[in-house]
Structure 1
C-alpha cells in the first residue's frame, strides 16, 4: 500500500517541530528517515500511526486520508513499533504478541485457530519461539524489542512504521532484523540512527533537519560527504562496501565536532 505525506506540519507546545514535510513510500518500499536528534523523525512517525494530530497537511493511505479511517481499520492497515512504551502490564510474551490480532477479533470472540497460528509464526520469525510463557517484563531490552516487533508482524498490516527498531539489539539480531524486513517487502517507514544500516536496507531515504525534509532520494545519491558535514556535522568518506557494494560511510572519528550550529 502506498503512503503519501503531504505538507505535514506538527505543532507541540506552541512550536512547530515539523514543518511542511512531504514524502512518500510506494507499495512494498522500505523508506528511511534519518537525521540528527530532534530533527522531527519520531514526530513524523507518530503522526503516521495517529499518536499525534497534525496542525496542517495530511497522511494518505492509497489516496485515502488516514484520519477518515476508524480505529480498528487503521490498526489493520498500520502497525507501529514506537520508541516510547506504555506501562508494561503483567503479560506473557505470547499474550503481548497476541495483542496484534485484536483489530481482527469481535468482542468476546476470543482467538481463532488462525490467530494462534499467526502468533506462533511471528514469534518464530523474531527468534522467540520457546519463550512464549515468560513474563514480558522479565525480558532483556533486546528481547522486548523483538517481542514488540512480533506483535507488529502478527497484526499483518499493509504498512509498518518502525521508530529505531534496532535499539537495544546486539549486532547479530540487528542483522537478522534488517534481513527480515528486506524479505518481507511490506511498505515500511523506518527511522534509523545507523546510517550504514539505512543505506543497506532502504530503497529511499529522507533526511530531516530542524523539522524539515532537506534531502530525498536513493541512499547513494543522498548520503554524500557534503550532506553528512552540513546536516550531521561530521567528516566522512562514502565508499563501496567491500561485501555488498552498498554505500559505506567511513567516519573520521579523530576530527571531532564539525562545527554544526546547534539547534535553538
Structure 2
C-alpha cells in the first residue's frame, strides 16, 4: 500500500507545527523521517495514524483519503507504534498483543483460531513468545517496546507507522528489530534519531527541519556532510560501511560545529 502525505499542515494550541509537508512511502518501501528534535517528525506520523487531524492537506492510502475511512477500516490498514508507551496495563503480554485483533472483531466477539495464530506468530517474531503469560506492567522498557510492536504486527496492517521504534532497546534488539522490518517487505513509515540506523534500514529518507521537508531521496543522496551541518549542526564525514556498503556517518565528537562554520569549511 502506498502512503502519500500531501501539503500537510498541523497546528497545535494555535501554533503551526508543520506546514507544506509532502512525502511518500511507496508500496513495500521503508521511508524514514529524520531531523532534529522539534522538527515535526512525530506530528507527521500522528496524522498518518489519525491521532491528529490536519489543519490542511491530507494523507492518502493508495489514493484514498484516510479521513474518509471509518476508524476500524483505517486500523485494518495502518498500525502504529507511537512514542507514548502504555505502562499501566494490568493485562498479560498475550492479552495486550491480542488487542491488535480488535479492528477485525464485532462487539463482544471472541478470539478465533486465526486470531490466536496471528498473536502467537507476532510474539514469536519479536522474541517474546516465552513472556506471553507475564504482566505487561512488569516488563522492562525494551520488553514493552517489543510487545507493542507485536500488537501492531498482530493487527496485520498494510502499513506500519513507527515513532522511534528503537528507543529503550539494547544493541542486539535494535539490530534484530531493524532486520525484522527489512525482511517484512511491508510499507513502513518511521522516525529515527539514529542516522546510521536510518541509512542502513531505509529505502527513502525525508529530512525535516523547522516543520518542513528540506530534503528527500535515498540515504546516500540525502545524508551529505553539508546537510548534516546545516540541519543537525554537526561536523561529520560520510563513508562506506565496511560490512554492508551502506553510508556510514562518522561524527566529529571533538570539534562539533555550527552550520555556518561547517558550510564555510566545505565550501
Instruction: State TM-score, norm by structure 2.
Output: 0.96
Gapped runs of 5+ residues in structure 1?
none
On the 8 A contact 1:31/1:206 being kept in 2, the answer is yes
1:57 aligns with 2:57: yes
Label 1:7 to 1:136 Cα distance change in 2 as closer, same or farther (>3 A).
same
Q: Equivalents in 2 of 1:198, 1:87: separation in Å?
A: 27
RMSD (CA atoms):
1.2
User: How far does residue 87 in structure 1 lie from its aligned partner after superposition?
Assistant: 6.0
CA shift for structure 1 position 84:
1.1
Aligned pairs for 1:41-120 within 5 A: 41-86=41-86, 88-120=88-120
Q: Could you tell me how far apart the structure 2 residues matched to 1:259 and 1:121 are?
A: 47
C-alpha distance in 1, partners of 2:136/2:83? 16
CA distance in 1, matches of 2:157, 2:121: 15
**Cα displacement string for residues 99-136 of structure 1 (whole angstroms, at most 9, x for unaligned residues):** 00011111112000110011000000000011011000
Count residues in correspondence. 261
The CA distance in 1 between the partners of 2:36 and 2:124, in whole Å, is 34
- The CA deviation at 1:260 is 7.0
Question: 3-state DSSP class of the match of 1:103?
Answer: helix
Name the CA shift for 1:246/1:87 in 2 (closer, same or farther; >3 Å): closer
Go from structure 1 to structure 2 and tell me whether the alpha carbon gap of 1:11 and 1:63 turns closer, same or farther (over 3 Å shift): same
Query: Larger deviation: 84-93 or 60-69?
Result: 84-93
- Could you report, residue by residue, the CA deviation over 1:140-192 in whole angstroms, capped at 9, with x for unpaired residues? 00000000000000000000000000000000000000000000010000100
Q: What 5-or-longer segments of structure 2 have no aligned partner?
A: 262-267
SS at match of 1:214: strand
Alignment partner, residue 195 of structure 1: 195
